[in-house]
């Protein structure tokens, strides 16, 4: 499997490049970054922190190199990822994206693309995060109607979307179990005075320093509390999972695949 990484210089892109390069049966054949960056044209091995040349110059135009790959892993901006999606469909390439911050309308474009290419999106790629989600689902089935639920996500100061994509996944899961929508349940921060919204789901988003990614779900009962938490210490867990996703798509027919399929968590 030949792989191009879009967003190759970012905090996720660099370890993804490394894991692709190390993975048996996979070959790193390209990296793409935004036009105008000083590393465009430099060797991907140096840009991705390998400390050695790969003989692959970093491109700023995915269309110029896309035919060299079988699969794209995109960890760039929302805008670039949507361009990547269109090119993947046009050229018939499998696509994994671990980017977040998409609108429901933009997610619908990924769903439609699944009719023509194999695609994985709208997921946190850490295996342990997905085990956490399975635990949260079990707890919510038992406790959602009798506990107050609060979700806290913590990320670095530069993260653009809040709440995080994973926090929203948790909120949507709970809303579905309650037979309603997240729009009906969600409370994003609180100020002033007033009682908690009965049956609601509270969100808090902390953005500070270089926090990688932490998620905590509280189930607050009377006289007791359950907490389910995932802590990440580096982006390697997400990068490794993104490469797992790409490997999973090898040879798959067109379709929208779930992270649960990748990790066997169904």
Q: Which residues are catalytic?
A: 155, 159
- Specify the 3-state DSSP secondary structure of 157: coil
Beta strands in the chain (DSSP E): 2-6, 27-32, 71-74, 94-97, 118-120, 148-155, 186-188, 201-207, 213-220, 225-232, 255-256
Residue carrying structure tokens 């994994």: 96
Binding residues: 7-12, 37, 98-100, 165-166
- Specify the 3-state DSSP secondary structure of 129: helix
Binding residues for NADP(+): 37
Which two three-digit tokens encode residue 79? 């805008």
- Specify the 3-state DSSP secondary structure of 220: strand
Residue 206, phi then psi, degrees to nearest 5: -100, 135
Q: Which of 258, 262, 237 is nearest to 248 (CA)?
A: 262
């Amino acid at each position: 499997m030949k792989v191009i990484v879009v967003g190759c210089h970012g905090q996720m892109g660099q370890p993804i490049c490394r894991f692709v390069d190390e993975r048996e049966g996979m070959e790193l054949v390209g990296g793409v970054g935004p036009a105008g960056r000083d590393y465009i044209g430099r060797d991907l091995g140096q840009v991705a922190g390998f400390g050695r040349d790969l003989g692959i110059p970093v491109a700023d135009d995915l269309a110029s190199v896309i035919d060299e790959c079988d699969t794209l892993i995109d960890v760039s901006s929302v805008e670039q990822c949507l361009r990547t999606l269109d090119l993947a469909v046009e050229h018939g390439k499998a696509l994994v994206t671990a980017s977040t911050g998409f609108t429901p309308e933009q997610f619908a474009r990924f769903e439609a693309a699944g009719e023509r290419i194999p695609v994985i999106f709208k997921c946190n790629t850490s295996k342990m995060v997905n085990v956490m989600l399975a635990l949260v689902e079990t707890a919510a089935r038992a406790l959602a109607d009798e506990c107050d639920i609060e979700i806290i996500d913590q990320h670095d100061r530069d993260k653009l979307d809040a709440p995080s994509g994973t926090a929203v996944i948790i909120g949507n899961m709970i809303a579905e179990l309650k037979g309603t929508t997240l729009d009906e349940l969600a409370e994003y921060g609180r100020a002033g005075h007033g009682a908690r919204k009965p049956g609601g789901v509270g969100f808090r988003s902390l953005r500070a320093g270089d926090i990688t990614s932490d998620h905590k779900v509280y189930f607050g009962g009377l006289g007791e509390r359950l907490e389910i938490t995932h802590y990440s210490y580096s982006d390697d867990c997400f990068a490794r999972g993104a490469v797992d996703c790409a490997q999973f798509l090898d040879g798959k027919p067109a379709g929208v695949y779930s992270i649960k399929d990748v990790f066997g968590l169904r």
